[in-house]
Amino acid sequence: MTATKTVTPEVVREHGLSEAEYEKIKSLLGREPNYVELGVFSVMWSEHCSYKSTRAHLKKLPTKAPWVIQGPGENAGIIDIGDGDVCVFKMESHNHPSFIEPFQGAATGVGGIMRDVFTMGARPVASLDSLRFGEPSHPKTRHLVAGVVSGIGSYGNCMGIPTVAGETAFHKSYNGNILVNAMCVGLARKDKIFYSAAKGAGNPVVYVGSKTGRDGIHGATMASAEFNEDSEEKRPTVQVGDPFTEKLLLEACLELMATDAIIAIQDMGAAGLTSSSSEMADKGGAGVEIDLDKVPQRETNLTAYEMMLSESQERMLMVLKPGREAEAERIFRKWELDFSIIGVTTDTHRLIVRHKGEVVADMPVTSLSDAAPVYERPFVKRTPMTGEPGFDASRPVMDSLVRIMGTPDMCSKRWVWEQYDYTVMADSVQRPGGDAAVVRVHGTNKGLACTTDVTPRYCRADPYEGAKQAVAEAWRNITAVGGVPMAVTDCLNFSNPEKPEAMGEIVAGIEGLGEACRALAFPIVSGNCSLYNETQGEGILPTPCIGGVGLLKDVNRMASLAYKREGDAIIVIGETGGHLGQSVYIREIEGKEEGACPPVDLALEKKNGDFVRTLVESGTVDTVHDVSDGGLLVAIAEMALAGGIGATLRMNYEHDRFIPVFFGEDQARYVIAVPEKAADAVIARARKADIYARHLGYTGARSDGGEPVLQGVGLPPVTLARLRAAHERWLPEYMAGKS
Amino acid sequence: MKSAVVVFPASNCDRDAAVALEQITGTKPTMVWHGDAEVPKDVDLIVLPGGFSYGDYLRCGAMARFSRVMADVIAKSNEGRLVLGICNGFQVLTEAGLLPGALMRNANLKFVCRPVGLKVEETQNVFTRRYDAGQIVHFPVAHGEGNYVADEDTLDRLEGEGRVVFRYAPGDNPNGSMRDIAGILNEKRNVLGLMPHPERVCDPLLGGTDGKVLFEGLVEALS
């Protein structure tokens, strides 16, 4: 990158700014911007940083509740979990960098979201990752899976934060645009929360952490554009992570946060120094002056442009109380981190940047935030897909079950999560593989239930209903472990908003999220949008990923999905209509992606879920699984495999109804297992509450040889060994190059 | 019983070790900064915790071994004070020469986190005195470099002197270590290094209490 260039229309275009945007910049500044200023605007007005295509619609989301302390607009969202404890959490995408350079893209995605949490004063206690890859047969998929999983593990493990949940799924629409959505959950005290608003003039602006280099320049702009054949050249835009330094940074920040020296603090993420300085000033109603000569540099001859746009990792920007600089510096030097006073807050409301004695950038702070464009892009809402797909009713159910359990989406993801330390911090009460992870709130008996969910094929069939379903499933998963769902962080992954149909998916998706969050009292407190997930004109399935967090008042009153005893009654809560549209069964066994997606009745979700939760909270039930992908029989199989205990189903259905009943993906359902002597009482309780409950069978089935089996009326026995082999085999064999 | 936990840059299981120690011994351990000159003079047990000290730069534990406080840790271990190295701590002990052998990259080249079955081979020492010889216990492992290697003479000596304390149960070796070795003692039997994490299995809510027995043995031995 040359030190400074003349700003020509070509240069403006290269910076991802439209002519109209450039005109607006000129009018805000009252003159032409220089090259540094152009760079600053290009990142701050990028889709990734400004949300210009979605801001108008995101306003419609419910973000408040009595337990919400901080909604969207800060580094992370915050909810009150009682006793002076708060939970701080957020999910963010790192899709484009991970496609280009999977290890570092994923690693820095994890690092970035952790910083967003601890910048608010919270010690991170859990990591989750929702991953979407292209079809397994695509030549890049294996490499991307290996890199991403390795990258996530390398960062999280070194940080010593357990990676406890997530999803890993495959679909050809992600062939050119994988999704890596990283979520972090942290804990803080209510009276020790740190915000980013840099209030007041004359306060020192301090840079701490790693030195600045040339990595990641224009990372934000890269994340705001589609890929084409030349995308590989974008590799220098991917940031490089150092989890060792971030661990030191975490401890140093928490140590300083134990004092009252900090006025404001924000991590340097996308658009690095530019975004942190301008956002902090903007929120505080202040101005900021920065001297780039004071920025710790790890390369020689860094230009002002490079320093303002660098996305070097593991850096924070703080505003301290005057006089506290030495105290703060002692802490950061102890942890062997760079510490430099690089500027001061002012009352001019301007961002002024100096380098080598000259002013190289000077603009109103609001020009970067409030004045950033907001687009009401034209949109067309597609007609939802309808109809019930045809299927061959004679296909043997149990053979189909075994096949489904071994498909890429449904198989065990043990290959993934055994590469993550999920037990560090000694508070992981429920580990990967369940409905939701549960992490004990350290030193208490409370637990945080965390999950990530979305069903993209539903969202393509019906973007509105599919988005509702994502929220409902996250809500169910938290409920299934006995938690009270409290709030959501979302990661909205969509394709090109400049195309009306894609914009229609975004608008409908946001509306669906809003309806579900409102009905379930599950507000959105933080989140992220990732648009332009499109390559050579092919966009991804709409993928609004929901990160849910809930609270268990007592982790000793918790449910998990494994069958625990032989002879338990298996009961389904919630009625099965046999909805096969957009089901895993139809896709994997009939080879079609057809039909209407299952409708979501939010009132019913709440009714059924609240009932199940009271069963868990009262200690009546300890075994629950929500029913989702694959339907009822898959849920039952998953419970059997987790517990190593078989099951006999004694449901009587007409044979031609088997497939819809066992594989339909009707929503608002849970399977529970309870000692037989308690079963009648549970069903009676359900009936009294006007909840559908049906006794399906019993746990504990064994073959003549004593092997645990899954079997039923009209369902020949399948050994758990055969199911387990199918379930566990696919992913390790695929990654070893064998399938 | 007085204990200390050394904190290197990017140790990350120091809190876990401290919590287990406090819960089981009844006394809070002293957290000792790697840059200090010494550990507390009257310490009975020094714990080198798990983590990624110095980012595993060069080799795991290779840098931590030169931390300022290590001179005193070595001196005190030579005096006979007890030293427990867990995971990265075990790596530091081998780098410092307090234990023989080395911990190499896992055979499958990947980080692995899962519960493993361990056979308690040896109970004639302060650390495992409260287990039954031959007992199978379960601790979680979480490491990328837990593959214990040493030359044949060293391995024979370890076996011969009853210094292999924990061995992965048949079929349960997560990292390919030689002779399925998971944890060993030094000659004087006052230094134990092991890859699995006993401090993570001291609570039934977390999957078991097999680790508690190790710390209880220490309390008993030192009282």
Confidence of residue A369 (pLDDT cuts 50, 70, 90): confident
Q: Which residues contact A408 (CB under 8 A, 6 or more apart)?
A: A136, A169, A170, A730, A731, A734
Interface test with A, best of B112, B145, B205 (most A CBs within 10 A): B205
Decide: residue A737, CB within 10 A, 0-12 exposed, 13-18 middle, 19+ buried: exposed
Tokens at B91, concatenated: 């790596």
B73: left (phi over 0), alpha (psi -120 to 50) or beta: alpha
Test B9 with A244 for CB contact under 8 angstroms: yes
What is the average pLDDT score of chain A?
95
Q: What is the pLDDT along chain B (223 residues), one digit of tens a residue?
A: 999 999 999 999 999 999 999 999 999 999 999 999 999 999 999 999 999 999 999 999 999 999 999 999 999 999 999 999 999 999 999 999 999 999 999 999 999 999 999 999 999 999 999 999 999 999 999 999 999 999 999 999 999 999 999 999 999 999 999 999 999 999 999 999 999 999 999 999 998 999 999 999 999 999 8
Optimal mutation site among A424, A441, A552, A560, interface B, most CBs of chain B within 10 A: A424
Q: How far apart are the first and last CA of chain A?
A: 44
Would you state the structure tokens that stand for residue A212, as one six-digit string? 């600045």
Q: Is the pLDDT of residue A1 over 70?
A: no
CA–CA distance, A295 with A302 (Å, rounded to integer): 10
**Residue A250 pLDDT level (bands cut at 50, 70, 90):** very high
Q: What distance in Å separates residue B204's CA from the closest CA in chain A?
A: 10
Query: Could you tell me the two tokens for A16?
Result: 């991802």
> Measuring CA to CA, which residue among A214, A219, A182 is closest to residue A46?
A219
Distance CA(A189)–CA(A568), nearest Å, equals 42
Query: Model confidence over A159-201: pLDDT tens digits?
Result: 999 999 999 999 999 999 999 999 999 999 999 999 999 999 9
The shortest CB-CB distance from A244 to any of B50, B55, B113 is to: B55
Sign of the torsion formed by the C-alpha atoms of A221, A222, A223 and A229: positive
What's the pLDDT score for residue A691?
Answer: 98
**Tokens, residue A399:** 């053979």
Residues of A with CB under 8 A from a CB of B: 150, 153-154, 157-160, 242-245, 247-248, 334-336, 417-429, 440, 555-556
Cross-chain residue pair A158–B10, CB shorter than 8 Å: yes
Give dist(CA A76, CA A186) in Å, integer: 10
Count of A-B CB contacts under 8 Å = 83
Other Cβ atoms within 10 Å of A592 Cβ, number: 14
* Mean pLDDT computed over A245-252: 98
Cβ pair B206:A336 closer than 8 A: no
Mean pLDDT value of segment A606-615: 98
Residue B118 pLDDT:
98
Q: Return d(Cα A546, Cα A476) in angstroms, integer.
A: 12
Secondary element (H or E) of residue A340: strand A338-346
Say which of B87, B95, B122, B143 is annotated catalytic.
B87
Q: How would residue A232 be classed by pLDDT, with cut points 50, 70 and 90?
A: low
Backbone angles phi and psi of A238, in degrees to 5 = -85, 135
Annotate B123-149 with DSSP letters as a single string.
Answer: -SSTTTTTSPTT-EEEEEEEES--EEE
Judge whether residue A221 has pLDDT over 80: no
Residue of A157, A95, A107 whose CA lies nearest to A314? A107
Predicted local distance difference test score (pLDDT) of residue A2: 43
| Chain B residue closest in CA terms to A250 | B10
The closest alpha carbon to A54, from A532, A605, A547, A689, belongs to A532
Q: Where are the alpha helices (DSSP H) in A335-455?
A: 365-368, 397-405, 414-417
Count of other CB atoms within 10 angstroms of residue A675: 17
Q: Count Cα neighbours of A66 within 13 Å in the Cβ-side half-sphere.
A: 1
Whether the per-residue pLDDT at A274 is higher than 60: the answer is yes
Task: Give the pLDDT score at A271.
Answer: 86
Is 80 exceeded by the pLDDT of residue A236?
Answer: no
Long-range contacts of B19-24 (CB under 8 A, 24+ apart): B19/A426, B19/B199, B20/A426, B20/B198, B20/B199, B20/B202, B20/B211, B20/B212, B20/B215, B21/B45, B21/B47, B21/B199, B21/B215, B23/B202, B24/B202, B24/B212, B24/B215, B24/B216, B24/B219
pLDDT digits (tens, 9 = 90+) for B165-220: 999 999 999 999 999 999 999 999 999 999 999 999 999 999 899 999 999 999 99
| CB A107, CB A154: distance < 8 Å | yes
In Å, how far is A445's CA from the nearest CA of chain B?
10
Token digits for B135?
A: 């007992």
Residues of A in contact with B28 (CB under 8 A): none
Name chain A contacts of B112, Cβ cutoff 8 Å: 418-419
Gyration radius (Cα) of chain B, Å = 16
Q: Could A426 and B142 be called an inter-chain contact, meaning their C-beta atoms sit closer than 8 Å?
A: no
CA distance B60 to B90: 10
Rounded alpha-carbon distances, angstroms, from residue A164 to A152, A167, A182, A479, A731: 12, 11, 12, 17, 19
Q: What is the CA radius of gyration of chain A?
A: 26
How far is the CA of A624 from the CAs of A427, A559, B75, B199, in angstroms?
Answer: 21, 6, 55, 30
**No. of H helices and E strands in chain A?**
25, 28
CA A321 – CA A344 distance, rounded (Å): 11
Closest of B95, B60, B51 to residue B74, by C-alpha: B95
Give me the pLDDT at residue A233, please: 60
The pLDDT of A368-379, averaged and rounded, is 91
CB A478 within 8 A of CB A451: yes
Residue A494: both structure tokens together: 């969509």
Report helix, strand or coil for A198: coil
Q: Return the residue in A244, A336, A728 with the most chain B beta carbons within 10 A, the one to mutate for interface testing.
A: A244
Q: Which helix (H) or strand (E) holds A610?
A: helix A602-617
Say if the Cβ atoms of A159 and B12 lie within 8 Å.
Answer: yes
Give the pLDDT of residue A571.
Answer: 98
Phi and psi torsions of A114, nearest 5°: -65, -40
**How many Å apart are CA A71 and CA A64, to the nearest integer?**
7
Please give the backbone phi and psi of residue A436, each rounded to the nearest 5 degrees, phi first: -145, 150
**Chain A residues within an 8 Å CB radius of B50:** 424
Pair B221, B84: CB distance under 8 Å? no
Instruction: Give the mean model confidence (pLDDT) for residues A115-124.
Output: 98
Contact residues for B215 (Cβ-Cβ < 8 A; gap 6+): B20, B21, B24, B25, B198, B199, B202
Residue A335 structure tokens: 């942890």
| Strand bridging mode A568-573 / A693-699 | antiparallel
* Residue A322 DSSP code: T
Closest residue in chain A to residue B198, using alpha carbons only: A426
pLDDT of residue A231: 66
**CA dihedral of A278, A280, A283, A284, whole degrees rounded to 10:** -110
Contacts of A421 in chain B (CB under 8 A): 111, 113, 142
Residues A136-158 have a mean pLDDT of 98
CA A115 to CA A209: how far, in whole Å? Answer: 11
Query: A712 is written with which tokens?
Result: 């039923």
- What 3-state class would DSSP assign to A156? helix
Verify whether residue A94 is a known catalytic residue. yes
Q: How far apart are CA A739 and CA A134, in angstroms?
A: 15
Residue A376 CB burial class (10 angstroms; 0-12, 13-18, ≥19): exposed
Positive or negative, the Cα torsion across A156, A157, A161, A162? positive
Select the residue of A248, A336, A418 nearest B113 (Cβ to Cβ): A418
- Give the residue-averaged pLDDT of A238-255: 95
Q: Are A168 and A70 in contact (CB under 8 A)?
A: no
The CA distance from A513 to A465, in Å, is 9
Mean pLDDT, residues A661-676: 98
B221 alpha-carbon distance from chain centroid: 17
User: A306-364 pLDDT, tens per residue?
Assistant: 999 999 999 999 999 999 999 999 999 999 999 999 999 999 999 999 999 999 999 99
Name chain A contacts of B16, Cβ cutoff 8 Å: 424-426
Catalytic residue check, A48? yes
Q: ipTM above 0.85? A: yes
